[in-house]
Structure 1
Amino acid sequence: MNDPLSVTYSARLRRVCEYIERHLDEPLSLEILSRMAHSSPFHFHRQFTAWSGLPLYRYIQWLRLRRASWRLAFNPRDKVIDIALDAGFQNPESFTRAFKTAFGQSPRQFRKRADWAAWHQRVPKLVLQEQHVMDVKIVSFPHTQVAMLSHLGAPDRVNESAAKFIEWRRTTGLSPVASSQTFGIAWHDPDTTPPETFRFDICGSVERPIPHNDVGVINGEIPAGRCAVVRHHGSLDSLSDSVWYLFREWLPTSGETTRDFPVFFLYRNFVHEVAEHELETDIFLPLR
């Protein structure tokens, strides 16, 4: 399936997916999408389903429902009716039915206590953006004091810890999102680490030590040092592909050796604030 015709065919359908991601707030007609794929509208449904594994309009609905779930969980001021309309539903009732069918919780239940483990089990693997050759730079990362909340347990539940950290930031004002940086420290590979021993630290930069609190947020640091850094564009679902690019493609030919500190991420924006294709995440690989 790597012959030139197959590559061209796949590239056309990827362009369709990228167009869908960028225009989720707009009507997405079969005529426009099939024309982008150089296909007849009569056959495009079957082509898209065979390639992506999902019917076209089901694929679009999943993308909209994913976005709605992040807004419900992390944007408490957004009204359910506004989220429903932005997801392409005519009224909150039809949105509630579709959301509960998809995730097993109503929108209000999800907002109150999201079951992220079930969310990950239910959401299908979607065809999102493809990573290309990446521009790796070497930088001197400064010593950074952070407020840190360690997530210990299944990777699928990291968003539960993220919600606690976001609420701590919001209520204390000690690491405001508008003026602080947000990091994630990946102590373990989620694909090879038993869930019960998986650790991922969620961090926000601070200017001074934070006081003791009942949430479990503690003082920490990201040490200064040389790092290889690459910018990942798009969905966090494919973040590991960019991490592996550093290890498989760049590191063996770089002449560099790694330092004894885990890979960490700098989140430049957030999925509940921008569309998935607009996400930007810097990946840092510590070097000697």
Structure 2
Amino acid sequence: MTAALRNYHARMQRVLDHIDRHLDDDLDLDALSGIAAYSKYHFHRQFTATFGLSVHRYVQLARMKRASYRLAYADAQSVTAIAMDAGYDAPDAFARAFRQRFGQSPSSFRKSPDWEPWLAAFEPLDNARSKLMQTIYTADDVTIRDVPATPVAIMEHRGDPATLGATIQRFIAWRKAAGLHPMTHPTFNVWRSERRPASPADYSVDLCVGIDKPTDANGEEVKAGEIPGGRCAVLRVVGHTHNLEPAALYLYRDWLPASGEEARDFPIYCQRLSFFPEVPEHETVAELFLPLK
């Protein structure tokens, strides 16, 4: 990559980070073009050519994504407050836009989200971000760490990844009722299958929370288990941690064969250290653990 192209990507990345960090602010062309250090007319053309979305459309989608996460996972916030945070002057306008995009009203989505239209609606946003967010990992990014065994409560997700959001909702509601706050009880995902298996029905992941005493299932399908202790290769990922597949592929495909290490008989897993929308997407943090012999 030439120095000029690197500089161009860095300027556009600053804009995306600024948008994520300031979704509550006035994100007009004047402000964003100043972040990129382009004239606003040139910036608008360049942004659209680079990301396949206009600046206005990108900001709309980013705000709507945060709003939908808050509806699904933060039931303490009112629909009115979420609508205002998404840049709408009135809940009715927000409801119309939300229904047009997802086929559900905000209140209906909060109660029972239909995740397939949701995934389709945000595909342009994810595609836009992936154009500049392809992190290149090196062996220096990987550390070997002795980790202790961690007793966990497990809620299994088995089946189409498009329905994972519903399992996450149940998991969050259950751990809230059980008093297992993420600040005091760590959150893990253990992948039992590939991210995109040949058949969606074969997708398999365990949602886990660290526990220090037996926990009541409260009617949910929750079981006790353990993330075993031992040596692990650890790769820290910062930003847009909803897709950890590139980092996992680096550990398995590149780092492991070159390291001389052997993988232990336990799946790769992650610990999620911060969460969207509590922090902007580019500030979320997760650590991937590859268990070693």
Taking structure 1 as the reference length, the TM-score comes to 0.92
- Equivalent runs, 1:19-58 vs 2, <5 Å: 19-58=18-57
2:11 corresponds in structure 1 to 12
Read off the aligned partner of 1:131 and give its amino acid letter.
T
The 8 Å contact of residues 100 and 107 in structure 1, kept in 2 or not, is answered as yes
- 138-147 vs 240-249, which deviates more? 240-249
1:287 corresponds in structure 2 to 292
SS in 2 for 1:14: helix
**1:243 pairs with one of 228, 239, 248:** 248
Read off the aligned partner of 1:199 and give its amino acid letter.
S
Deviation at 1:203? 0.6
SS in 2 for 1:170: helix
2:129 corresponds in structure 1 to 127
Matches of 1:140 and 1:97, distance apart in 2: 52
Structure 1 stretches lacking a partner, 5+ long: none
Q: Deviations over 1:169-205 (max 9, x none)?
A: 12233x3434211111011112234211111000111
Matches of 1:3 and 1:278, distance apart in 2: 27
- RMSD of aligned C-alpha atoms? 1.8
Matches of 1:100 and 1:131, distance apart in 2: 35
Deviation at 1:4? 3.6
SS in 2 for 1:73: helix
- Equivalent runs, 1:3-152 vs 2, <5 Å: 3-123=2-122, 124=124, 125=126, 126-127=128-129, 129-133=133-137, 135-152=141-158
Taking structure 2 as the reference length, the TM-score comes to 0.91
Matches of 1:67 and 1:283, distance apart in 2: 24
The 8 Å contact of residues 75 and 272 in structure 1, kept in 2 or not, is answered as no
The 8 Å contact of residues 210 and 218 in structure 1, kept in 2 or not, is answered as no
The 8 Å contact of residues 74 and 272 in structure 1, kept in 2 or not, is answered as no
The 8 Å contact of residues 189 and 271 in structure 2, kept in 1 or not, is answered as yes
Deviation at 1:43? 2.4
The 8 Å contact of residues 148 and 204 in structure 1, kept in 2 or not, is answered as yes
Deviation at 1:275? 1.7
SS in 2 for 1:127: helix
SS in 1 for 2:244: helix
Structure 2 stretches lacking a partner, 5+ long: none
Matches of 2:181 and 2:34, distance apart in 1: 45
Deviation at 1:250? 2.4
Matches of 1:177 and 1:6, distance apart in 2: 40
1:166 corresponds in structure 2 to 172
SS in 2 for 1:236: coil
The 8 Å contact of residues 259 and 286 in structure 1, kept in 2 or not, is answered as yes
Is residue 275 of structure 1 aligned with residue 275 of structure 2? no
The 8 Å contact of residues 154 and 208 in structure 2, kept in 1 or not, is answered as yes
Read off the aligned partner of 1:153 and give its amino acid letter.
G
Q: Deviations over 1:20-78 (max 9, x none)?
A: 11111211121232233332212222211110011111001111111111111111010
SS in 2 for 1:43: helix
* Count of aligned pairs: 286
Is the alpha carbon distance of 1:75 and 1:212 closer, same or farther for their aligned partners in structure 2, counting shifts above 3 Å? Answer: closer
Deviation at 1:132? 4.6
Q: Deviations over 1:242-273 (max 9, x none)?
A: 22222344223222111111111111122132
Matches of 1:273 and 1:38, distance apart in 2: 29
Matches of 1:218 and 1:28, distance apart in 2: 46
**2:200 pairs with one of 195, 198, 219:** 195
SS in 2 for 1:117: helix
Deviation at 1:8? 2.7
Deviation at 1:3? 3.8
2:191 corresponds in structure 1 to 186
- 2-11 vs 17-26, which deviates more? 2-11
SS in 1 for 2:117: helix
The 8 Å contact of residues 196 and 203 in structure 2, kept in 1 or not, is answered as no
Read off the aligned partner of 2:15 and give its amino acid letter.
V
Matches of 2:17 and 2:129, distance apart in 1: 9
The 8 Å contact of residues 165 and 217 in structure 1, kept in 2 or not, is answered as no
Is the alpha carbon distance of 1:12 and 1:260 closer, same or farther for their aligned partners in structure 2, counting shifts above 3 Å? Answer: same
The 8 Å contact of residues 243 and 283 in structure 1, kept in 2 or not, is answered as yes
